Amino acid sequence: MPSVAISVLKMQNPLDSAPTATELCGKTLRSECLSLLRELQNADGGWPFHGGEQSRAEPTCWALRALFASEPYADHQVFRKGARFLQTSQLADGSWPATSQMSTGSWVTSLACSVLSGDALSADNVKAGLKWICEDFPRDSSPFRQFVRSLRPKSATISQNDSYRGWGWTPRTASWVEPTSFALMALQETIPQQLPKNAAERRNLAVSLLYDRMCPGGGWNCGNPRVYGVDGDALVLATCWALLALRDAPEKPGRALSLAWLQKECANIQSAGSLAVARMALENYGIELPAAKRNLQDCNAENLAEQGIHLLAWACMALDPGRRWPSIAMTTHAMTTQKQLPVKDKTVLLKPNLVGLDPQGMMNTHPAVIAATRESFLKLGASRVLIGDGPAMDRDTQAILESVRLKEFTGKLGKDFCDLNIDDVERVQLETRATRLKELFLPKTILGVDFLVSMPKLKTHHWAGVTLSLKNMFGIVPGSCYGWPKNVLHWAGIDRSILDINAAARPDFAIVDGILGMEGNGPIQGTPKSAGVLILGNDPVAVDATACRVMGLLPEKVEYLSRAGTMLGHVEMSKIQQLGEGIDAVRAQFAVLPAFRKLVA
């Protein structure tokens, strides 16, 4: 039986090439929409459905989602005003009403909990809202009603399993697809510490309900897949929200069928709202929006606002390439192909490969991959996810962060980014003695985290043959102690130094960004090579060996990998369980320098 499991997943390229006219129009429209959204905020901090009307919770939630889709909430005045409106609109039982004139809660509670979940000052509001959500059971599927129905002849009116329970638009009524989807997303986005005890049970019942209520041909409508023996027709918005809610749920054939239905239906979409939400749903699964009868770029901000501020917000979100919700698919789903990672309540550090200005996107770990990985670990229960690197060639780490545009995807990191070049250090005795170095002074942050993730780029290397997750760990050696470009490691021998560093601080997990890599004279002056993959697993040696095979290279011939296979992990294919795509399906032959021709398979 293989000792480790490594996932190989096909991925689309998220990189920003030269913008097309359509993309430029999209950026302009998004800018106009964001400006108009800010103008339409009422004095009480909320937003109405239409300008000049009374503030309501739902459009306020969507406006905040759009305005802060790719940047943190922090203390931004616009967000704080909106959050205060939501906080004061919350009812005593923890719910939010659809309008201030109502005295009972509604499905909007799920939206409010989702939006406020990232705001520390709203933690009590979110906790109360989630409690209300988990205590709101629809009456149509109560045990008593199920018992009464069991005594009657089987009805031909509807065809569904009443033992599954979701949520309704209004409390204690009936389960419907869209409010069930929003409640599921609220539960998924909340840190585990805030969830009520029965959250997992409610989530499982709701997931089962969504699959049960799917239309026979794929997709969802409001919740009646078949009435009097006649198949119901799916609707775009209901299908999109259900697919987003099921993104991290166990895979079932119905999900793929519904994605196929949505892709096909895109050709018929003419409304801006459905087009925006369909784009977000498909991109959340890594699927580009197929050609439609109209484009979002054909709209203008004023016209969208006339249709509803919620629709204006949806368009803003769909046009935001760095949005965190719903995120553009990268590693979130890939992480679920691995066994549950032991990161609950732990501090995780992501160590990407950040080198410098990279217009072609072949040199640095792409910020979209970093951002999605960070979000994934938070969803898995990590208490904190740091990002850290110690660039080898340039002491101005901030300039590198600006050039790779990390903040555009992750939002402001503050103390969640660690410059490993200038971190406090601690002496580490080198037990492996692969080099003549007896010790290394390594960053205390690296040594102190609970879970370390190496996130390299898929590249060749003019001195080591390939640079992957093990070689990426050169970036933890602090420049403040060893200089730039950390030449002491070169003098000690690159291959042997790789072994000593990884033995001293072995990554717990590795994710190789092979969407666009580099071949030839890497790691800086090579040429771009598209591979379209992410390779990940909990054995960095096995991950690197698999990456080599994807590159059409022999890992056994890479000196440091061959030795690492005897002390740090596994190189042999017989000991690696391959998940996801097979090597043959994703192999992309990488060119190497003449000195490394022996590596070519």
Closest CA to 473 of 448, 436, 508: 508
Fold identical between 17-318 and 332-599?
no
Domains in the chain: boundaries: 17-318, 332-599
- Between CA 40 and CA 46 the distance in angstroms is 9
The pLDDT of residue 333 is: 45
State how far Cα 4 lies from the chain centre: 24
CATH value of 332-599 in 3.40.50, 3.30.70, 1.10.287, 3.40.1280:
3.40.50
Closest CA to 528 of 443, 453, 460: 460
The pLDDT of residue 1 is: 43
The pLDDT of residue 25 is: 57
Alpha helices (H) along 40-89: 57-67, 77-89
Question: Which parts of the chain sit beneath pLDDT 50?
Answer: 1, 15-21, 24, 156-157, 330-333, 336-337
For the chain, what is the mean pLDDT? Answer: 89
- Is pTM, for the whole model, over 0.85? no
Alpha helices (H) along 513-558: 540-550
State the CATH architecture for 17-318: Alpha/alpha barrel (1.50)
The pLDDT of residue 238 is: 96
- The model's pLDDT over 457-516, given as tens digits with 9 standing for 90+, comes to 999 999 999 999 999 999 999 999 999 989 899 899 999 999 999 999 999 999 999 989
> Residue 396, by phi and psi: left (phi above 0), alpha (psi -120 to 50) or beta?
beta
